[in-house]
């Protein structure tokens, strides 16, 4: 099972210009792992995560995520897949500014048929005592914890994270990585982390390196480091 891509291509066209964002990308990500997707700016990392996450559709090739065969799914089925199988985390947290912490998490809860207990999740991410605060009253690290709680309350099998520590300093970033590792170990969630920070590869079970839309490398880390021990670059 897990995530399987075979010869996936994605071309963006703007006028006469074509950008080959993914070129014959093939990879296998086993379930219940932490995966780091590394590569320079423009190498196709976000495109890869977006086609896996059903935010964007690929042009050719096959993608399966668990039981979901993405190339065979209609848009409505892709929406269901995003709601039930996936949680998303972004660099800029994307919390709703007019809702409190618990109301933001409630949004995630309402998207799921079998949501987890909100109090339990907010306690696990260390934000229960701030459940009535608004996002502007929280630090960046706290906002990212809430975003993780909102994604997690749906109990997704896959957590797709695009630069989750990109806006955070080293100390706070490492706390968020520790939380993601805890999520992986506690719930068995597969955690995919896109990052410019090569050090994050040191804590992952699987590392994927991209360049110019191609997967250059895909290897297992025999001994992933604890998040607090990774280098920060």
Positions in the binding site for ligand ATP (CB under 6 A)? 12, 14, 19, 21, 39, 41-47, 196
The secondary element (H helix, E strand) that includes residue 147 is helix 140-152
Give the whole-angstrom CA distance, residue 84 versus residue 68: 11
Question: How many Å from the N-terminal Cα to the C-terminal Cα in the chain?
Answer: 33
Give backbone dihedrals phi and psi of 43, rounded to 5 degrees, phi first.
-80, -10
Which is nearer to ligand ATP, 79 or 212 (by Cβ)? 212
Query: Minimum CB separation from ligand ATP for residue 53, in Å?
Result: 12
Which is nearer to ligand ATP, 88 or 187 (by Cβ)? 88
Which is nearer to ligand ATP, 44 or 53 (by Cβ)? 44
Which is nearer to ligand ATP, 15 or 97 (by Cβ)? 15
Query: Minimum CB separation from ligand ATP for residue 210, in Å?
Result: 6
103 with 63: CB under 8 angstroms?
A: no
Beta strands of 77-184 (E only): which ranges? 86-90, 158-162
Query: Minimum CB separation from ligand ATP for residue 70, in Å?
Result: 17
Which is nearer to ligand ATP, 103 or 214 (by Cβ)? 214
Give backbone dihedrals phi and psi of 30, rounded to 5 degrees, phi first.
-65, 160
SS3 content of the chain, % helix, strand, coil (to 5): 35, 30, 35
Query: Minimum CB separation from ligand ATP for residue 115, in Å?
Result: 30
Q: Write out the two tokens for 208.
A: 């994927």
The CB density around residue 47, as the number of other CB atoms within 10 Å, is 23
Query: Minimum CB separation from ligand ATP for residue 164, in Å?
Result: 13
């Amino acid at each position: 099972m897990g995530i399987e891509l075979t010869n996936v291509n994605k071309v963006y066209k703007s006028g006469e210009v074509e950008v080959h964002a993914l070129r014959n990308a093939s990879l296998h990500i086993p379930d219940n792992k932490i995966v780091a997707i590394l590569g320079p700016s423009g190498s196709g990392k976000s495109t890869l995560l977006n086609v896996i996450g059903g935010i964007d559709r690929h042009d050719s090739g096959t993608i399966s995520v668990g039981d979901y065969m993405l190339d065979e799914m209609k848009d409505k089925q892709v929406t269901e897949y995003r709601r039930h199988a996936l949680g998303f985390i972004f660099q800029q947290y994307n919390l709703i500014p007019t809702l409190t912490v618990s109301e933001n998490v409630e949004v995630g809860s309402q998207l799921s048929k079998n949501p987890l207990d909100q109090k339990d999740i907010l306690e696990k991410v260390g934000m229960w005592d701030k459940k009535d605060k608004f996002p502007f009253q929280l630090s960046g690290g706290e906002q990212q914890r809430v975003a993780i709680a909102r994604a997690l309350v749906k109990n997704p099998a896959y957590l797709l994270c695009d630069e989750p520590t990109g806006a955070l300093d080293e100390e706070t970033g490492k706390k968020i990585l520790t939380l993601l590792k805890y999520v992986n170990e506690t719930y068995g969630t597969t955690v995919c982390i896109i990052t410019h920070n090569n050090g994050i590869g040191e804590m992952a079970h699987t590392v994927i390196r991209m360049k110019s839309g191609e997967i250059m490398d895909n290897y297992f880390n025999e001994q992933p480091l604890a998040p607090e021990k990774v280098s920060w670059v």
